[in-house]
Structure 1
């Protein structure tokens, strides 16, 4: 749509007179400026939100090419991932499980065989190989003695054989090794089968299978503050071998201490409580123990109360209270039955006309019957 532009004359009066207003002309607010007519359809058009500028697309490298900073980016990403995993309170961020560098077992076997063969060849070269061994191997017998070169070759071959056979290890499912060198953590081996591990590294075996622990009754309390003794079953496993081995002196003892502390902080359902109260106690204990044991690499799956009983100092009082309640209930039932029997007897005697009693005689009869029935119940039992 085309737009028209109208220009205001140069000499325009400051204000319109009353005549112009009376004539219905609009009062001009802008003078000596150009005005433009705006199309009607543009006044009601919704302007789209300003889109962000297009991101610059980094050109992809050619096939087989490698960026010069690719290795640095990988290391930075790995370091950030390790730091994020180590964000646990009370634990050194450097103590985080990471895979150790190991080789397949066949590499150790080959190195050991090569070292042994090198020792045999060096012995034959130095002339110290026994004649029987030389004849068995199809070699000629040589005479002489070892020199500096033979000693160096023998040392190298022997070291290769020792490193090859000495580093062989068998990895098992559910078991892991925590490796250390001069007090520094070097990684964790979770592989299975025949592996080769550096023989200079110190190995600590850790059980990473799902385990359960059932301890002795521990002190606890219910919602009313009554002392209890609770035996619990803890289902747990080692999730981070580095923290469980190096972050705490004894992770099993630490787990027991966490369970004992949780029992003192969480009110336990009293004996005889419903399934809902027991489930609530189990969830609260599991959540609390898992939060306490998580920073040391121990994952707690469930903490189940198996046996809940009153403490010895409370058990006797609770037993007396239970006996008193039972006795009171029994007395109430006996008195109710005696009163019903007396009422039925007096009513029958009166309705059949066997006796004609006034109020005083009726009271005496009721009293005598009550005493007789209570005595009879006491002799025969309930």
Structure 2
């Protein structure tokens, strides 16, 4: 069978299965009864001066001591993985007192939710600009056998793969929509798909992409990614000042566009009102009036009126 080209898509070689384990309370009672029987045999053999009977009493004691090694306790959301001479022999997830083969080597694995916070990483986004991005990942163990036997240290594995997945997601998205427009308009810039969500405004689409990317990376280790959230997003310090000035310029331009659009509407309303009242203007005076009104309305300073005292031609 050919392995997938992408090693992240490989499934775990060890499939978790239920191991040999029984209710520990009943088993513990049986062990105590067996031990009591051994003590009784030894005591009666000593009283009757019967060495054979006394020696026979040590067998139940030894057996109960061996069986006692197979007793263990599992807390909620905890599993035990059994190995017999290095071979996987099954797992147990039943909560409470349990008994299994005393010759098994037992290892406990927690299935509780865990949180890994990724510190701010400096990466280049899809437009090539350096940014800082951090995230929080909530994960749990879904396959105790795979987590224990496929990976040497599954907690460290999750940390490393989380960093790698976040870098990949950040590198495949632009910081904001303005970067996409600039990159699309520049023949020398990196190709940035218009349809792809940006890191700043992408929301759930970016987060779900991070979850899928990370899940593909940790699936073989028996890890399930429950949730991920972007916790930090900013331009890198070396370009933060320049990007702030760009954003300020964009805000000024947007305000100017709104002012100009409003001024044009006001001039149109003024001319229409004059025409409704029967005041018609010659083209030259109409043009001058429009220019003066636009200067007054669009200017960022108060206009100084100039009164023409000359005779009207």
TM-score scaled by structure 1?
0.55
- In structure 2, the partner of 1:303 is 228
- In structure 1, the partner of 2:16 is 97
Query: d(CA) in 1 for partners of 2:140 and 2:199?
Result: 30
Higher RCO by CA contacts (8 Å cutoff, separation 6 or greater):
2
Change beyond 3 A, Cα 1:194–1:339: closer
Unmatched 5+ stretches in structure 1: 1-87, 128-141, 357-382
- In structure 1, the partner of 2:175 is 270
Shift of 1:327: 8.1
SS at match of 1:217: strand
| Contact residue 171 and residue 191 of structure 1 kept, 8 A | yes
- In structure 1, the partner of 2:303 is 341
Per-residue deviation, residues 305-335 of structure 1 (Å, max 9, x unmatched)? 1221122333244345456667889999999
- In structure 2, the partner of 1:118 is 37
- In structure 2, the partner of 1:380 is none
> Is 1:150 matched up with 2:54?
yes
| Contact residue 45 and residue 52 of structure 2 kept, 8 A | no
Shift of 1:256: 2.0
Change beyond 3 A, Cα 1:265–1:160: same
Change beyond 3 A, Cα 1:220–1:304: farther
| Contact residue 118 and residue 163 of structure 2 kept, 8 A | no
Query: d(CA) in 2 for partners of 1:177 and 1:271?
Result: 47
Per-residue deviation, residues 260-302 of structure 1 (Å, max 9, x unmatched)? 2222222346279688522221121111111111122111233
- In structure 2, the partner of 1:106 is 25
> Is 1:248 matched up with 2:182?
no
- The structure with the greater share of residues assigned to strand is 2
| Contact residue 12 and residue 220 of structure 2 kept, 8 A | no
SS at match of 1:315: helix
Shift of 1:176: 0.8
Unmatched 5+ stretches in structure 2: 1-7, 178-197, 260-294
Change beyond 3 A, Cα 1:213–1:109: same
| Contact residue 290 and residue 301 of structure 1 kept, 8 A | no
Shift of 1:192: 1.6
Q: Which has the larger radius of gyration?
A: 1
- In structure 1, the partner of 2:130 is 227
Number of residue pairs the alignment of both structures matches: 246
Per-residue deviation, residues 64-121 of structure 1 (Å, max 9, x unmatched)? xxxxxxxxxxxxxxxxxxxxxxxx955663x110101111123422332123212321
| Contact residue 188 and residue 242 of structure 1 kept, 8 A | yes
SS at match of 2:303: helix
Change beyond 3 A, Cα 1:167–1:100: same
